[in-house]
Structure 1
Amino acid sequence: MNLEKTFRMLRKNWKLGKYRRLLQNAGLCAATACIVLLLVYFVRGREAEKEIEALRALKNQAAAESSAALPKLDGREVSGEYQELFLKNPDLVAWLTIDGTKIDYPVMWTPEDPEFYSHRGFDKKESQNGLLFLDKGSRINEYGGNLIVYGHNMKNGSMFADLLRYGKKSYWEGHKSIQLDTLQESRRYEIFAAGKSGDPKALPYGFTTASEKECRAALEGMQALSLYDTGEKGNWGDDFLTLSTCDYSTKDGRFVVMARRVK
């Protein structure tokens, strides 16, 4: 009986508008909190991009001043373009660029802790953007294998956000080429397939070393997942490069593009 009386009183007060102000204030607070969180997200993202811009400027300046010589640093040959960056952080193994996109970033490699740079910047401090990083099984100078590079697709358009645009063939047609600079040489790859799946086993993650069986399985898998026919294909014996990011259109989804080396 008390419960029924309480319900009638609540309903009466609701009709009189006694709770509207409370709900309005609660809604306003929630909206304000969301706006603040979004602002923090974009500000931090912008700060991370500024740090990358400084690295790009350092790289470009060094490229203009460097010679063709490859002096050794820490026992490794490093071209003049990347010497200063390598001295700042020897986890650097490459720099990846796709012309006409925002993808222009260093690639890191820490096989003992593969996802170390998933949420860290070049200075190794916490960063929501993280950096591009190489799969622990990838070998940057091994021919006939597959280099797998992971990166976040950020809402601010940074890192691998543009990778999702390869879901449309028209985008692939205008952005087929990937440049990957190692510490010793510049390489060019041509994208031949783009696909997505929520099943990691269906993606070419199992293919890193120069194994014919794994290569053929990866190529067959990508052909089955391909979102469109590019008219191009990879073959056993090619050098491959796979770029991977999250795809939120499906549970545990991943979006990948696969390319073969042409230069």
Structure 2
Amino acid sequence: MTSPTDPAARQLLAQGRLEVEGRLVDASNVTLYCALELDGLSGHAVYKPVSGERPLWDFPHGTLAGREVATYLLSEASGLGSVPPTALREGPLGVGMVQLWVDTTDDELVDVRPPAEVPDGWRVVLHAHDRLGEPAVLTHADHPGVRDLAILDIIANNTDRKGGHVLAGTDGRVYGVDHGICLHSEPKLRTVLWGWIGEPLPSDAVEKLRALPEKIYGSLGEELSAHLNGVEIGAVVERAEKLLSTGVFPEPGDDWRAIPWPLF
């Protein structure tokens, strides 16, 4: 099984033979579980063909598959967050997004629990009541990998960061998946990872954000232009610069729902 951090993973994704083994039925668009094989290397991947996408009125440009690839490119170039290797390529049902499958542990990184059962150090995002009227909280781990994913979501303008999209990899890394509705030019951040509101950005993230505009004006911008329009690419720079100017994790906006539903 090829690790997400293995340099050969990109080649396997781009050139490997893709064979459908099943379908993830909970997904809103066609999402297939596939085997990958190339010259003795093997692995598994998620394949989302463009032909299986349902059009979204507020994302009229490009494809959801392209936005998944663009978010991966942004993560890789910026060093913010971890997204499994992702490529746009031909598959059994035509061109689509192919992303390396991540093996995960049983560890939960986002959860809804009674207040008394929140693990020490976890961040509480929302107080509510369950269907029986008992107190409950939306909470997530205070983990560097989760925090970096929250920063990636800000600059990628992720409008659907559900708890089930935050994975604890068996390699110890935290991975974010399912980025089809990211990178809109208008503010649409909707996430379960609001646990650091008002706190200073970590110094390593600040350095990565400072370096991002130059990358976008260079080779990264050229790569993104295959999937996004110019306004959307420029908005990435604007979000990074705004985040740097404030120096803290932002609060939710008042003009849109800031937490996705369902939560997972």
- TM-score, normalised with respect to structure 1: 0.28
Structure with bigger RCO (C-alpha 8 Å, 6+ apart): 2
Q: Which of 1 and 2 has greater Rg?
A: 1
| TM-score, length of structure 2 as denominator length | 0.28
